[in-house]
Chain A
C-alpha cells in the first residue's frame, strides 16, 4: 500500500541522491570564508538545516568527501553553501580559493532529518546557538521561519570572532523583527564601544541571553565540536531537557 502522494511528507519526496552542481556565483563571505551559489537542476529541495556531502575526485582517482550545511531551503534548484577555510585542510581551501564559476561539483543530498526545522504552527519558542560557521544551518532555519511567517518566537545567539567574521550578516540583520532576535557575542573584537563584552560564551552568557528552560524552547546548537559540547552541557545544567536540545558538530576543536 502506498501513501497518499498529497499527504506524503517532504522528506519522502526528498530522497538523497547524487547530483552534479555547477558553480553559479562565488563571493567572499568573511575574510576566511566564501559563499557558493550552486545550480543543481536535479535538486529536490531541502528542509532548513539539512546538509549535503561534497565529493572531490583527484585525477588519480583519490576521493575526499566532506559535509556542508545548506544555507538555502525549500523548493529550489539554487543551493547556497558557506564554507570557512580550515588552514591546511584537504577540501575547504579548494572550495574557498580554487573554485571558479562554471566549475562542476559532485553532491550527495539532501541529508539529515535530525538537525532540521520545519514550520510547526505552534508557538513553542526556538533558541538557536551558533559558533562560527555553525550558523549556516541556523541561518537557513531563521530564513525559513521568516518566509513561512511562522508564529514561533526565534532567537539566535551567535558567537563569532569579529564583526567581519559574521556569516550572512546583512541577511540576518534583515530578519530581525518581532519574531526574530539576533544577539552577536564577539570573542576577539566587538564593534566600537562594546569592547567590554568580548569573550567566549559561558554558562552565564547562556543564562542571561537565551530563552530560559522554563519556557521549554526547542534548542538547536551548531559549531565546532568543543563549542557544541560545552554549550549543550551548560544548557542541561540550566534545566533544559536533553530531548529539547539538538546538536550538530562540525569538527575541529
Chain B
C-alpha cells in the first residue's frame, strides 16, 4: 500500500485533541521544515499510523490504537502553531 497524507490523521487525533490539528503548522525536528500536518506523508499499514515529514522522511508522529488504550508520540514535531479561526 502506498502512503496517504495528514488529512487522514483527523479522525485518530480527534479522539485525543479538542481541536483539529491537521491544519496546524509544525516544525520537523529532523530537517526544520515547517508544514501543515495535513501535508505529512502518512502510512496506515503499520500496526499504528505513522506520519513522516514530506521533506526529509523523518518520523513526525505515531498513533497506535489498541482498543482500550491509545499511544501517541509527537517527538518529531516542535512548535505546533494553531490558528484561531
A248 to B36, CA, bound (A): 13
Q: With A16-B11, A16-B14, A67-B11 as given contacts, are A113 and B20 in contact (CB-CB < 8 Å)? A: yes
B22 in contact with A113 (CB, 8 Å):
yes
Cβ–Cβ contact B2 & A248, under 8 A = no
Q: Are A11 and B85 in contact (CB under 8 A)?
A: yes
Check A112–B22 contact: CB distance below 8 A.
yes
> Counting CB contacts under 8 A, is A253 at the interface?
yes
A252–B1 Cα gap in the complex (Å)?
7
Secondary structure class of chain B's binding surface, majority of residues: mixed
Report the Cα distance A182→B4, complex, angstroms: 27
- Dominant SS among interface residues on chain A: mixed
Closest to B21 in A: A113
Give the contacts of A115-169 with B (CB-CB under 8 A): 115
Taking a contact as CB atoms under 8 Å apart, the answer to whether A112 and B2 are in contact is: no
A9: B residues at CB distance < 8 A: 85
- B7 and A112 form a contact (CB under 8 A): yes
* Interchain CB contact under 8 A, A252 and B2: yes
Interface flag for A32 (CB, 8 Å):
no
Residues of A within 8 A of B38 (CB): 112, 114-115, 246, 248
B11 and A114 within 8 A (CB): no
CB atoms of A247 and B39 under 8 A apart: yes
Judge if B76 is at the interface, Cβ distance under 8 Å: no
Known: A115-B7, A247-B39, A248-B7. A253 touches B2 (CB 8 A): yes
Q: Which single member of B4, B11, B14, B20 contacts A251 (CB below 8 Å)?
A: B4
Whether a CB of chain B sits under 8 angstroms from the CB of A225 is: yes
Chain A to chain B: the 7 pairs with minimum beta-carbon distance, closest first: A114-B38, A111-B10, A9-B85, A53-B11, A16-B14, A113-B20, A114-B23
A-to-B contact residues, CB < 8 Å: 9, 11-12, 15-16, 51-53, 65, 67, 108-109, 111-115, 225-226, 246-253
